[in-house]
Structure 1
Amino acid sequence: MTNDTLHTILNKFDICESTITFLRHNENRTYRVDDAHGTSYLLRIHQPVKESMAGMQHTYDGLLAELKMLDALANQNHLIVQAPLRNREGELITVLEHEGQQLNCSILTWLEGRDLQKEDVTNREVVQQLGFQLAELHSFFRQYPHEGMETRPSQGIAYNTGMIDTIKKGLVLELFTATDVSIIEKTILLINSRLEGNGLTPESWGLIHGDLGLGNIIVTPEGKLSFIDFGFFGPGYYLTDVAMGASMIPVEHRNLFLEAYYGHKHVHENELLLIEGFMLLSIIGFYAFMMGNESVHDWMREHMPQLCTKQCLPYLSGERIFYTS
């Protein structure tokens, strides 16, 4: 995409005389924009690198729901987030006509910092901060209006079941063995049966970030943590985020994370069992989402047998994996 095209978008936001730096093209095309006054922004063109990665989050209505939520989240005083900008017409989304396509574009404020690293979460204070802030985020989501969320990705039992069919496509692509696919299917079905047994309650189901990982958490120069990339924000089990958070943390600090999130030390065994299931679902979900991306196929071939042997089979046999994997 040419600089002239990008400047056409920026001009709709009255951002002129700017320097544009390409960042990456994955779920979206992203660019850093530095204007003449020294202010920086994040420009997002919502076009995934692979068609198979496109989802509800890329549609106009789906993106608008994300941006409205970010606008509300940025106006509270507890969490550091990137705020969306409105264009000259007051709209959060600018539609670009490009090569016969209509592309949705948005601009967020820039957040200085770096990605959270594995070394960071060996620090007990960082682990506690992560737990506290995730609890704060979920507290915001609990009071945020849930209307209109049918336009956002939903990570429930049906989503889990759909992953089975996606993983089975790996057989045709010769990514996975029939044995490994069978283990994944049994794992998901077991997790779903446990979720069905617990039902949906306001305490268990609501709005979630949906894609917590080291690359989606920024450490600011002041040492504060900030959640970014709400592309998978939408309805889901709160424990999805809790499990993703725990997965980033060394096993010896995971209880500290849970204590910070819940506000108490004791976590019920049934709750821990569900968290373990969601930890596995987050990994399986990555495989499913990246199935159409040939650049990670070799990685998948190598790591799927390890996932099945070291985590799924112990989980299926009733072993505790929260403190071992």
Structure 2
Amino acid sequence: MDPQIKLLFLDEHAIEGAARFGVRQEELSFIGGFQNFIYSYTREGCKYILRFTPSTLRTQEGLEAELEWIRYLAENGMSVSEPIPSAQGRDVECVSGKMVDFYATSFRHAPGRKIGYPECLGNPLLYEQCGRMTSHLHKLTKRYEPLARRHSWERNEYLLRARKYIPPEHAPILRALDELKERLASLPITPDNFGLIHGDINVGNFTVDETGEITLFDFDECQYSWYAEDIAIQLYYLLYVFGEDSKSERKVQYEHFIEHFERGYTEDGRRLPEGWKDQLSLFLRLREIIVFVGMYRSWDLRQPDDWTRDFLQDSRMRIINGLSLIDDFQ
């Protein structure tokens, strides 16, 4: 969370936004959030999410496009955390602030449980299910004809604001970002390899029920990009925990994920996006820069712990040298 935005979000905003959805202040439980302010509440035995998005991050039109897509996915058989309209029947309620407005949206709480670390590592059943889920998502988005449209990859907030959050001593990171964006802009775009993607699939953004079914949520980063990016993001968060001194373990994890994810994705005769394996390295590099920017935006890194210090050092080395987490394995 941008510290300046955090200071501008007041209890009165949460109270007013909750009231728009028929929720009392005492029913709210603050969960947290990396870009948004997230609360939970219970109604008639069912759990829901209430999200507040600063107007500096998203437009109302962009949020409406997000919710429109989620509803389309749900109506076509995908397990997602569906949006809930306000008491006035609106998907998005605007709560006015003095300097920044906050958009309130609500969703059904995803059933099941999250699978965190280390359970998500070396987990073939999970990777196959992730492959099935991602394949279903991409199949549906190829048929999707939206009324409202989300932004495309180059308008990603992390990329647009990298210069604001990255300290001057990391100027080589910004140069690497510019070079990578030029490379990505030259990739071919076809209906089979480019479309609306979730943009942040990782173990923190889905739950798994007792049958193994995945429910996907947090579509806040959805954007138009190459489908390979949706795959690379999942891979990144399974590999970044292995430092430069653990490359052998990273290689095993990479091969494990690719084998089982591909099996799940292609299970019903669906084909992976053309050129996806060749593009993985590029999108892993992009995700690494986004994570680097996000850490400097949201964390106090003046005295990092040992793991964070080592990660930032390794990450900076890879970024400025144009390397990805898998370059030694392909």
What is the deviation of 1:241?
0.4
SS, match of residue 120 in structure 1: coil
Which residue of the partner structure matches residue 261 of structure 1?
A: 265
SS, match of residue 28 in structure 2: strand
Do residues 218 (structure 1) and 216 (structure 2) align? no
**Which runs of no fewer than 5 residues in structure 2 stay unpaired?**
1-9, 239-252
Do residues 145 (structure 1) and 153 (structure 2) align? no
Do residues 321 (structure 1) and 322 (structure 2) align? no
Which residue of the partner structure matches residue 228 of structure 1?
A: 217
> 1:84 & 1:301 partners in 2: Cα distance?
39
SS, match of residue 66 in structure 2: helix
> 1:164 & 1:87 partners in 2: Cα distance?
31
Q: CA RMSD in A?
A: 3.6
Which residue of the partner structure matches residue 3 of structure 2?
A: none
1:126-205 matched pairs, under 5 angstroms: 126-146=126-146, 148-149=148-149, 152-156=150-154, 163=159, 166=162, 170-172=166-168, 174=169, 176=170, 181=172, 185-186=175-176, 189=179, 192-193=182-183, 196=186, 198-205=187-194
What is the deviation of 1:27?
1.0
> 1:12 & 1:255 partners in 2: Cα distance?
45
Which residue of the partner structure matches residue 307 of structure 1?
A: 315
Which residue of the partner structure matches residue 48 of structure 2?
A: 41
1:68-107 matched pairs, under 5 angstroms: 68-77=68-77, 79-98=78-97, 101-107=100-106
> 1:101 & 1:311 partners in 2: Cα distance?
33
Do residues 251 (structure 1) and 254 (structure 2) align? yes
> 1:186 & 1:9 partners in 2: Cα distance?
41
What is the deviation of 1:191?
6.9
> 1:265 & 1:137 partners in 2: Cα distance?
12
Percent identity of equivalent pairs: 20
Show structure 1 runs of 4+ deviating over 6 A. Answer: 264-269
SS, match of residue 9 in structure 1: helix
Q: TM-score, normalised by structure 1?
A: 0.77
Give the letter aligned to residue 170 of structure 1: I
| CA spacing shift, 1:302–1:226, aligned 2, 3 Å | same
Q: TM-score, normalised by structure 2?
A: 0.76
Quick check: 225-234 or 213-222, which moved more?
A: 213-222
> 2:54 & 2:121 partners in 1: Cα distance?
32
Query: What do the CA deviations read for 1:138-191 (whole angstroms, capped 9, x no partner)?
Result: 111111114532xx33214x769x94982696342x4x3x6xx26x73476257
Which residue of the partner structure matches residue 239 of structure 1?
A: 228
Q: Any conservation in 2 of the 1:42–1:110 contact (CA below 8 Å)? A: yes
Q: Any conservation in 2 of the 1:191–1:274 contact (CA below 8 Å)? A: no
Q: Any conservation in 2 of the 1:14–1:88 contact (CA below 8 Å)? A: yes
> 1:69 & 1:296 partners in 2: Cα distance?
36
Q: Any conservation in 1 of the 2:194–2:226 contact (CA below 8 Å)? A: yes
